[in-house]
Chain A
Amino acid sequence: MKEYRKSGRGLALGAGLALALGAAVGFSPISAHAAAKAPIKIGVIAPFSAIDGISIVNAAEMATDDINAHGGIDGRKIELLKYDDHASAADGVRAFQRAVKQDHVVAVVGTFISEVALAVEPWAARLHEPFLITGAASDQITNLVREHYAQYKYVFHANLNSTFLGDVVCAQSHAILVKDFHYKTAVVMSENAAWTKPLDDEYLKCLPKAGLKVVDHIRFSPNTTDFTPIFNKIEDTHANVIITGIAHVGVKPTIQWHDQQVPALLAGWSSQAGASTFWKDTNGATEGVITGNLGAPGAALTPKSNPFSSAYVKRYKTTPAYNSYTTFDAFYILKDAIERAHSTKANALVSALEKTNYVGTIGREQFYGRTAKYAHGFKFGKGYVTGVAIQWQDGQQKIIWPTHAATAKPILPKWLKPKK
């Protein structure tokens, strides 16, 4: 796998020199002390060429450098190993197998696509390898943990699941779309993927409670090349807003929505719109688009939020995506667990991870217990992770919800007017 890369290429050379030196002075080259100070290998799996894939890798690099610069984990450096899954389940499984069997990583962090995460999950169970899922959102991830705990206890969902993402959007919709814009009707439009099934179910349940009547529900193929027929159909419904569930796609529907001046606001969950490169990718067509996110530059959800997002922007010249926050935090959660367990063995690590109580960049992070509905999933709600809403305004991502973190008031694109 040519995409497989190691950070710290000097390690091999260093190890060689150490062996030579050890042999020259007559010591055993693998002393107990040296073994104890050997780096801790952690793998990260993501689709490198996707906007929401490289964001995982970037955050993993940042966390590794940050932790290493501050003394590592119990004095041991992290050695980061990166694997490209090309958004393919087969490649994801191969990468995971290689990480565990050949490279002997102590844990794996990633990936973006739910279908890939779900394909890898049984391998985490079979190989007894801690796997922290930071990008995929399908509820099925934690269902497997609850239903087959003994096998799947190695899997932790360090991200909000799709149902919770739906709840985040409904809370935002009530505050912004219903209260501020007096909107009454919505069309739910989601890509056909594993993560949007529970998301759409939740949308259909919670949007009416939030004050929006759902007048149509559209699920489209991620391979859709022309969204004109879909937007024309939506226009015929006279809905006020399109509530999206899009992550695999993002650029095409956003540009066509803007170019066609569809008379319905684009809001909901649009993962790619969370990264600042989306402005350039859409030639500015994302102006006015509202999307849920787990964090955003300027949103001081915890004391760690803004230092992280500022450092990320400085290093990568783009804002962190939702999964950058979760991936960065996952490395610190792992560090915390290894230090509490005084071990990198899988079972000890699982027990320590279950007791996680860590204030990360997006809130207090704890995992639900083994018998909970979302076993080993991130806790959601007040006091834990709650999410934010951002809106693209004049080329910048502004935080418009929750009110205490807001940096701007919500606005409408030029061709739309609030309802009276």
Chain B
Amino acid sequence: MTLVMQILVDGFVISSLYALGAIGFTIIFGVSGVLNLAHGGILVVAAMVAWYMGANLGLGVYPACLVGILAGIVMAYLTYYLVVSPIERSRRIPAEEKEIFILTATLLWGIMIQEMLAYIFSSNPISVPRLVPGITNVFGVHTPTNELAIGVVSWLVILGLWFFVNKTRFGKAILAASINPRGVSLLGFELSSIHRLVWGLYGLLAGLAGVLLATFIGASPTNVGDLTASAFIIVILGGLGSVPGSLLAAYIIGFIETLTAYLSDPSYRTLPALFMLIIVIYLRPQGLFGRR
């Protein structure tokens, strides 16, 4: 019974964090068609800035995390203005090749971020102090309260995002842009403004996921590739551009990994998800809820 509860609690926390990390990744693809392979880099920048502000500049944990989230937003905009937008606007790159150019450029940008972080902060793992100290006994499972808080914050943000997208004018514009960009333009919305808004939203989500990750299992520049790969696997499984698909996929991946870690060996936790990805690509390439 304890083992089942351990798996349920840990699975819930890690899956919620995965969902938060992947949801921005899938929105960016859904709205602007960009697969941002620098995603892990943005998460780690947010984590390391929050750590630096707390450990070296003496900021409290909450202000440090806010600065970390801000760094996530800044990095998202840098990615957009320095890497993505110049390719999108380029007349020398044929339209049909732009996707692959952006894919390659963001991959290289992610590597640059990783190398810059390692140069500035070293590759040693860092950790941000817990947002909520203490231990909570969940049906006999000794769980750090911070982990439960991460699960709750993740879901509050996801619900807030749902509310924003479905109930506000800007949110509805984003939703419409993901379905029919041309139609949205004809209705008088400027598509580039929507893209800018979405990149800001993405930075907020990625920054928050980065700092929460840093309070849970820590972060290091060497995690950049792994974090991008996790988000990539989740959105492929869920269906590129599908938010509900990404949420479901995050929980499937999170629980499979947790089950593997508890029932087999923590060293193998990422393997079943990778096998699953291969099977999904063969049997249902559009993913669980994919539109494209």
Contacts and interface: CB of A to CB of B under 8 A. Distances in A.
A228 interface: yes
Contact of B10 (A51, A223, A229): A229
Interface stretch (A93-101, A249-257, A309-317, A383-391): A249-257
Given A229-B258, A259-B130, A224 B144 contact: no
Contacts, number: 81
A281 B266 contact: no
A221 B261 contact: no
B218 A221 contact: no
A38 to B, nearest CB: 34
Nearest to A226: B217
B266 A235 contact: no
B168 interface: no
Contact of A259 (B2, B144, B266): B144
B228 interface: no
Interface string B107-147: 00000000000100011111111100001000001111010
Given A226-B217, A232-B6, A261-B142, A251 B125 contact: yes
Contacts of B191: none
Contact of B261 (A51, A223, A226): A226
Interface string A361-376: 0000000000000000
B14 interface: yes
Contact of A221 (B14, B55, B267): B267
A280 B258 CA distance: 30
A318 interface: no
A225 B122 contact: no
A221 B14 CA distance: 19
A252 B130 CA distance: 13
B261 A50 contact: no
B64 to A, nearest CB: 11
A252 B267 contact: no
B115 to A, nearest CB: 11
B126 A236 contact: no
Contact of B142 (A49, A192, A235): A235
A282 B127 contact: yes
B262 interface: yes
Contacts of A224: 266-267
A273 B25 CA distance: 37
A86 B223 CA distance: 16
Specify which of A50, A228, A251, A280 lies most central, judged by the most chain B CB atoms within 10 Å of its CB. Answer: A228
B124 A251 contact: yes
A252 B217 contact: yes
Given A49-B122, A236-B2, A283 B267 contact: no
Given A221-B266, A224-B267, A226-B261, A252 B6 contact: no
A230 B144 contact: no
Contact of B126 (A226, A232, A256, A281): A281
Given A224-B267, A255-B218, A259-B130, A49 B55 contact: no
A49 B123 contact: yes
A51 B124 contact: yes
Nearest to A47: B123
B124 A259 contact: no
A220 interface: yes
A227 interface: yes
A156 to B, nearest CB: 29
Interface string B42-85: 00000000000011000000000000000000000000000000
Interface string A212-226: 000000001101111
B270 to A, nearest CB: 9
A351 interface: no
Interface in A226-280: 226-230, 232-233, 235-236, 249, 251-252, 255-256, 259-263, 280
A280 B124 contact: no
Interface residue tally on B, bucketed by range = 20 to 34
A49 B2 contact: no
Interface string B189-221: 000000000000000000000000000011000
Nearest to B124: A51
A148 B266 CA distance: 39
Contacts of B144: 259-261
Given A51-B124, A283-B127, A261 B135 contact: yes
A219 to B, nearest CB: 9
A281 B125 CA distance: 8
Contact of B266 (A50, A226, A251, A261): A226
Contact of B123 (A50, A233, A235, A280): A50
Contact of A229 (B128, B146, B261): B261
B124 A260 contact: no
Interface in B247-292: 258, 261-262, 265-267, 269
Contacts of A285: 127
B10 A259 contact: no
A192 B129 CA distance: 28
A116 to B, nearest CB: 15
A236 B1 CA distance: 12
Contacts of A233: 262
A182 B27 CA distance: 57
Contacts of A282: 127
Interface of A: 49-51, 192, 220-221, 223-230, 232-233, 235-236, 249, 251-252, 255-256, 259-263, 280-283, 285
Given A221-B266, A281-B127, 12 more contacts: A49-B123, A49-B124, A50-B122, A224-B266, A229-B6, A229-B261, A232-B141, A236-B2, A255-B218, A281-B124, A283-B55, A283-B127
11 contacts: A50-B122, A50-B124, A221-B267, A225-B269, A226-B269, A232-B10, A233-B262, A251-B125, A260-B135, A261-B144, A283-B55
Q: Which 5 pairs of residues, A with B, have the shortest CB-CB distance?
A: A221-B267, A49-B122, A229-B261, A259-B144, A283-B129
